Structure 1
Amino acid sequence: MSFQPLIPLAGYAGWRFLSGSLENQVARFAGDPAGTRDVAYFREKIGQVTDAAGLVSDFRLLRVALGAFGLQDDLPNRAFIQKVLSDPVTADTALVNRLADKRYRAFAEAFGFGGPLPPRNRLPGFADNILARSTRQDFERAVGSQSPDMRLALAAQREVPELAARGLTDTTSWLSVLGNPPLRKVFETAFGLPASIGTLDLDLQLKAFRDGARRLSGSSDFTQFTDPVRVEGLIRSFTLRTEASAGPSPLTPGYSALILLGAIR
């Protein structure tokens, strides 16, 4: 990709700049010629795939599909991915239901190869949805090459409202956070929890995360994160804490103050 995301500042000021310019930056990123070739190939070919084996056998299709769910590191693990996609996600014994990382279940659900109904890759709008996710994830990875913390914040902005709107039980929603390493990092940091909390029993971890949410926003109910204001509050706490832990950073004089005052949109 020739276009590189612009992140002139660290911490919450940097987040305000990035989130305010996000639509324009993603559009410019998506217009890169290298990316448009993959988009055209995926849109043309994905509807011809009939099963999990067909998807994993096509490197270019699989690269886009995995990238849409942040699972691009599994590109060489084709047998594993085929198993993830082939098992019915509603079965307790399905591999995705035994994996701590819930991104695999979301990936399997999106394609629907393991269910009794026809796979979803032939539905209208499927290609556009996956490609939009893939472009956003690619952009987040490009951001991460400059600032890992900003990448985590972008992932939270995208994933937390989706999770809160899925209609899951409150416990299942929080367990999904615990099982998603990037999201877990955002919540842990925003709540001021130590990484070592992961060594505690699961019920104690759930209590700590719910207590952290209550301290931050006054509620432990995960559905609160369908509200963009609550999501922004979570990210604000995360970016402020990461900036504080990193110590002072050289910023353009006065620029941070201008952003926080709303002078720069």
Structure 2
Amino acid sequence: MFTPVIPFSGLAGWRFLQRTYDTQFEALNTSAQQQRATDYFTENIAKVTSAEDLVSDRRLLEVALGAFGLQDDINNRFFIQKILEEGTVGDDTLANRFADPRYAELSRAFGFGAKELTQVRISTFAPDIIAKYQANSFEIAAGAQDETMRVALYAERELSQVAALDASNDTKWFTVMGQPPLRALFEKALNLPKAFGQIDIDQQLTVFKERAREVFGSDDLSTFSDPAQVQDVITQYIARAQIDSLGTGASSTSIALMLLQS
């Protein structure tokens, strides 16, 4: 399996990964293991007629879940089948009851639920799912080298989409809070403590917005539809993670020097 090259930690590593992303992304997705997975999905997904068919084929399910960052649920077949079969029409469906919106996105994408149209035979379906799977696979591979890089790559891909949602600002914040990578991004960028997630969810929303106003000048998540703003929060996140990794023994001078060199 291809391993991304990330020769530096912190901001220097992030800048290197950005410069070499296209080349490294292609190298991963032309590897034999990756091609076998995507070729199998392309050749067989249109044969699937139900959620049960999908969860019964581990190779198809691996790509399907991987496309939405839900690969850790690969062995939870009954749960995923129920997510898919109930669909997303109605607030009481299982997918819609989760704070993490990726379950609803998975269910909606396949369309196996009641009152929904199955999507797997649409010509653009397999390429779209595979593109998501490839992006997530690269993020996982990068995260095996440095978890901050996985979070940063995910944010670069997804944050602007959350920002552009046709929804209230609070709904967007709840979406961020429900997606583990985006939550990790903002918790670190806003310098929130590890125990922060244990307080009441509405209190968390208030704190997120207050800290965003202090750090970014606004709590309006729609500002992150601008790629430059996305890079700002990623930089803030990686810089704080880099400082934390130095430990309490590092002087302010050495921290400043490292960040300048990055």
Residue 120 in structure 1 maps to residue 116 in structure 2: no
2:70 maps to a residue whose letter is: L
Q: Deviation at 1:117?
A: 3.4
Q: Give the structure 1 partner of residue 142 of structure 2.
A: 143
Compare the two structures and name the one with the higher helix fraction.
Answer: 2
Q: Secondary structure at the match of 1:211?
A: helix
TM-score, length of structure 2 as denominator length: 0.91
Give the stretch that moved more between structures: 184-193 or 11-20: 11-20
Give how far 1:255 is off. 11
* CA deviation profile, 1:194-222 (whole Å, cap 9, x unmatched): 12221222221111111222223222111
Identity %: 43
Deviations 1:105-154 (A, max 9, x none): 11112112114232122222111111111111111111111111111111
Q: TM-score, normalised by structure 1?
A: 0.90
Distance, in Å, in 2 between the alignment partners of 1:97 and 1:54 is: 22
| 2: CA distance, partners of 1:47 / 1:126 | 9
Letter of the 2:48 partner, please give it. V
Establish whether residue 171 from structure 1 lines up as the match of residue 180 from structure 2: no
Q: Is the 8 A contact 2:84 2:107 kept in 1?
A: yes
Is the 1:217–1:230 Cα contact (8 Å) retained in structure 2? no
Residues paired across the two proteins, number: 254
Give the alignment of 1:5-16 within 5 angstroms: 5-16=4-15
User: Which deviations, in whole Å up to 9, do the C-alpha atoms of 1:149-189 show, x marking residues without a partner?
Assistant: 11111111111112222322211111111112221111100
Which one has more relative contact order, counting CA pairs under 8 Å at least 6 apart?
1
Q: 1:255 to 1:177 in 2, by over 3 A?
A: closer
CA–CA distance in structure 2, aligned partners of residues 153 and 118 of structure 1? 34
Q: How does 1:34-73 map to 2 (within 5 A)?
A: 34-73=33-72
In structure 2, C-alpha distance between the alignment counterparts of 1:168 and 1:110, rounded to whole Å: 20
What residue number does 2:222 align with?
Answer: 223
1:122 maps to a residue whose letter is R
Tell me whether 1:161 sits opposite 2:160 in the alignment.
yes
What is the alpha-carbon root mean square deviation over aligned residues?
1.9
Taking the aligned partners of 2:258 and 2:224, their CA distance within structure 1 comes to: 30
In the TM superposition, residue 31 of structure 1 has moved relative to its aligned partner by 0.5
Q: Is 1:93 aligned with 2:92? A: yes
In structure 1, what is the Cα distance between the partners aligned to 2:207 and 2:59? 42
The residue type paired with residue 215 of structure 1 is E
Contact preservation (8 Å) 1:84, 1:96: yes
Q: Give, in whole Å, the separation in 1 of the partners of 2:14 and 2:223.
A: 21
In 2, Cα distance between equivalents of 1:243 and 1:151: 14
